[in-house]
Amino acid sequence: MTPSATLHLMLRTVCLALCLATASFAVRADTQWRDTLRSQIERIDQATPGQLGVYVKRLDSGEALAYQADRSWYLGSSAKLPIAIAVLQEVEAGKLRLTQKVSVQDTDKIDGSGNVVWQQSGTAYGVDDLLKRMLMESDNTAANMLIRTIGEDTLNHRARHYLGPKDFTRITSFVQVRKEVYGELHPAARTLSNQQLVELAAAPLGPQRVDKLVRMLDIDKTALRVKTMEDAYARYYARQLNSAPLTAYGDMLERLVTGRMVTPQHLQRLFKDLKYDSYDAYRLEKGLPRSARFIHKTGTQLGRACHMGVINPQDGGRAAIVVAVCAEDLDEHGDAPRAFEQVGRAIAQTALQNVAGSPK
pLDDT band at 4 (very low <50, low <70, confident <90, very high): low
Q: Is the peptide bond before 204 cis (omega within 30 degrees of 0)?
A: no
CB atoms within 10 A of CB 312: 23
Q: What are the distances in angstroms from CA 287 to CA 159, 213, 342? A: 30, 40, 6
How far is Cα 14 from Cα 8, in angstroms, rounded to an integer?
10
Closest among 106, 121, 113, 112 to 194, alpha carbons compared: 106
Q: Is 5 exposed, middle or buried (0-12, 13-18, 19+ CB in 10 A)?
A: exposed
DSSP string, 19-45: HHHHHHHHHHHHHHHHHHHHHHHHHHH
Give the pLDDT confidence of 22-35 residue by residue, as tens digits: 333 334 446 799 99
How far is Cα 277 from Cα 293, in angstroms, rounded to an integer?
7
Give the pLDDT confidence of 87-119 residue by residue, as tens digits: 999 999 999 999 999 999 999 999 999 999 999
Provide the whole-model pTM: 0.90
How far is Cα 122 from Cα 85, in angstroms, rounded to an integer?
26
pLDDT above 50 (res 197)? yes
Mean pLDDT, rounded, for 261-286 = 96
* 3-class secondary-structure state, position 203: coil
Instruction: Looking at the chain, list the stretches that DSSP marks H as alpha helix, in order from N- to C-terminal side.
Output: 3-46, 80-92, 127-136, 140-150, 152-163, 174-185, 194-200, 207-217, 229-237, 246-257, 264-273, 314-317, 335-349
Q: What are the distances in angstroms from CA 353 to CA 19, 34, 357, 360? A: 23, 11, 11, 9
Give the pLDDT confidence of 139-172 residue by residue, as tens digits: 999 999 999 999 999 999 999 999 988 889 999 9
Measured N-to-C along each axis, helices 127-136 and 264-273 cross at an angle, to the nearest 10 degrees, of 50
Stretch among 37-41, 183-187, 280-284 having the lowest mean pLDDT: 280-284
CA 115 to chain centre: 22
Per the CB < 8 A criterion, the answer to whether 309 and 274 are in contact is yes
pLDDT band at 354 (very low <50, low <70, confident <90, very high): confident
> For 195-230, b where at least 16 C-beta lie within 10 A, e where not — what string?
eebbebbebeeeeebbebbbebbeeeeeebeeeebe
pLDDT above 60 (res 20)? no
Percent with pLDDT over 70 in the chain: 90
Mean pLDDT, rounded, for 202-226 = 98
